[in-house]
A and B are shown apart, each in its own frame.
Chain A
């Protein structure tokens, strides 16, 4: 059940947008499609919604083969990056749209719209036009509009991509809580790994039209299947023969058994953390090594810009791959 995707291929001319995609998305979960721009994740989402057709392969939603079902009959809620608000309709009318198309009784539509306005905290705004709302409010309205039709799956295409950082964060938390409340099978596309790790139950990493890895946020972060997944989920740096996360490096001012040694050549403080660049003395490392420590650690270790330091992976951390 949920969404079953089998053997999906999609070409735009010579460009391979999706190549032999097989994916099973379980019911009731929040799944993120994560990957760089142009990697095919939005195309996959639009194929699930029926807004785009695949060149081969099948899509099943809740056990029904929808491959040849037009978008308007799939009962799929879709939320667009740029809201796609109906500009000439009030917020309430926007939300009521899907229900009016389905010719539900007036009173039922009214009650349902009230319920949804409450759910997305827009009760005060029901008679406004979308142009009178902020970006975050518009996207909440779009979400309510998609939920109004009680969709079998909810699809969100970079839903917070057009919002500023603070509103993004708020909406992200809110989406997670909403999902815990509504429990509709949800798939959302994002290129922001933090957003994906924080919100989703499971992650699908897509790059260059192929699935790189599927798993829980922990799986992907701790056991990435490829260098691509490793580097896409967070910053990495090369220490010796291995790629490692900058915060998994032990740094010391005193000589000790080390993978690399060199001078701190750059010191950037960002909030509570300090990002260091160490230029190694040996020629094994062509690039500077990135190290991240907290401010407290830096003070405890007595680190200063320009110090000679010794670096090695922290105990218990397995450098992922060579």
Chain B
């Protein structure tokens, strides 16, 4: 089914296009391109300086480590919750569905504080007992992963839910009637049907996780070389009059996220004209 309007192009068409392009240019393209421009102001100097600073290198590694774990957690959890939300009816379903959106609507700073209240090792609700068990959450990578996973939690779910609704249960029921158990049905029918939505959700999650700042700042303690992630490092370097390093780190962060999005849009098959 065509989703585009086909009509003759008039002057209005070009005015509308121009408006959209100008808007996107002023808001997105230009500012981001300035970061790139400043990164390469002195050739590769900024990048070299940044990458020779052990704190920056550590921050980048920590960010990737944290983001990967947060994405893994959100993928497993997200698939489970999506199936629960779409395929089952249970009391409290509406509330759960609303709660899932909370991380998107609440400021990450609030998330950080809330997590600290729960997992803080001295005053937190669970923190002290976890610490006694030898598990350090706050001001440690685990806490950063937790904060990041919290903030990017809805992204996989929000991609999956509409697709699960759309594919319905017919194929799953057919698989069952043909002898497939629940796990086989999930692996051979459900998962391949939602594959691209899942990949897209994972990439969005990854991008969001790489860029998380507020919640991580509170939860990590922001100690360079120990719990400082790339975004925190950018802020510190920028305030420390090491703008070059800050730009270079920003550039690398953006590069990973953009690369992920590009890879997905290249891999993703074109929408087939006959979906059913």
What is the interface of chain A, defined by CB distance below 8 A to chain B? 49-51, 70-78, 80, 82-88, 97-98, 101-102, 131-132, 142, 145-146, 148-149
**CB neighbours of B178 from chain A (8 A):** 72, 97-98, 101, 145-146, 148-149
A98 contacts B170, C-beta separation under 8 Å: no
B192 interface hit (Cβ, 8 Å): yes
The answer to whether A87 and B171 have CB atoms under 8 Å apart is yes
Q: Is the CB of B170 within 8 A of A149?
A: no
| Bound Cα distance from A22 to B149, whole angstroms | 54
Give the distance in Å from the alpha carbon of A78 to the alpha carbon of B171 in the complex.
11
- Pick the residue among B170, B184, B275 that contacts A82 (CB under 8 A): B170
Report 10 cross-chain contacts, Cβ distance below 8 Å, ordered by A residue. Answer: A72-B179, A73-B179, A78-B173, A80-B174, A85-B171, A87-B276, A97-B178, A132-B274, A145-B174, A148-B178
- B179–A51 contact, CB under 8 A? no
B272 CB within 8 Å of chain A: yes
**Known contacts A102-B179, A149-B179; A86 and B174 CB within 8 A of each other:** yes
Which B38-94 residues have C-beta < 8 A from chain A? none
Partner of B177, one of A76, A83, A85: A76
The 8 Å CB contact of B173, one of A51, A73, A142, A146, is A51
Known contacts A80-B173, A84-B174, A87-B193; decide if A131 and B179 are in contact (CB<8 Å): no
Closest 7 CB pairs of A and B: A98-B178, A84-B170, A84-B174, A78-B177, A88-B192, A71-B176, A101-B179
Residues of chain A lying within 8 A (CB to CB) of residue B171: 84-87
Output the nearest chain A residue to B276 by Cβ-Cβ distance: A131
Q: Which residues of B contact A (CB under 8 A)?
A: 170-171, 173-181, 184, 188-189, 192-193, 195, 272, 274-276
Give Cα A132–Cα B184 distance, bound, in whole angstroms: 26
CA distance A146 to B171 in the complex (A): 13
**Closest chain A residue, CB of each to CB of B180:** A101
- Bound-state CA distance A147–B123 (Å) is 65
Q: Which B residues touch A80, using CB under 8 A?
A: 170, 173-174
Residues of B within 8 A of A86 (CB): 171, 174-175, 189
Smallest Cβ-Cβ distance to A129: which chain B residue:
B272
Chain A nearest CB from B273 CB (Å) reads 9
Interchain CB contact under 8 A, B177 and A51 = yes
Contacts of B195 in A (CB 8 A): 88
Which residues from chain A contact B184 at a C-beta distance below 8 Å? 101
For the complex formed, measure the closest distance between the CB of B122 and the CB atoms of chain A, giving whole angstroms: 52
Q: Which of A50, A83, A88 has the most CB of B within 10 A?
A: A88
Contact residues in B for A88 (Cβ distance below 8 Å)? 192-193, 195
In the assembly, what is the distance between CA of A322 and CA of B180, in Å? 53
Would B179 and A98 count as touching, CB distance under 8 A?
yes
* A82 contact set on B, CB distance < 8 A: 170, 276
10 additional A-B pairs beyond A72-B179, A72-B180, A82-B276, beta carbons within 8 Å, are A51-B173, A71-B177, A83-B170, A84-B170, A84-B171, A86-B174, A87-B193, A87-B276, A132-B274, A142-B174
Do residues B179 and A84 form an inter-chain contact, with CB atoms below 8 A? Answer: no
Shortest beta-carbon distance from B147 to chain A in Å: 36
A190-B199 Cα distance, complex, nearest whole Å: 41
Considering the chains assembled together, what is the distance between the CA atoms of A73 and B176 in angstroms? 9
How near does chain B come to A292, taking the closest CB pair, in angstroms?
39
Distance to closest chain B CB from A52 (angstroms): 10
Separation of A85 and B175 alpha carbons in the complex (Å): 10
Nearest residue (CB) in B for A77 is B177
Q: Is the CB of B272 within 8 A of A84?
A: no
Taking the closest CB of chain B, its distance from the CB of A59, in whole angstroms, is 14
Cα–Cα distance between A49 and B178 once the two chains are bound (Å): 11
B99 nearest CB across to chain A (Å): 27
A144 to chain B, nearest CB (A): 12
Given contacts A131-B274, A131-B276, contact A97 B177 (CB under 8 A): no
Q: Smallest CB–CB gap between B57 and chain A, Å? A: 42
Identify the interface centre among B175, B177, B195, B274: most chain A CB within 10 Å of its CB: B177
Compute how far the CA of A98 lies from the CA of B179 in the bound complex, rounded to whole angstroms.
6
Closest-by-CB residue of B relative to A138 is B276
Instruction: Report B-chain residues with C-beta under 8 Å of the C-beta of A70.
Output: 176
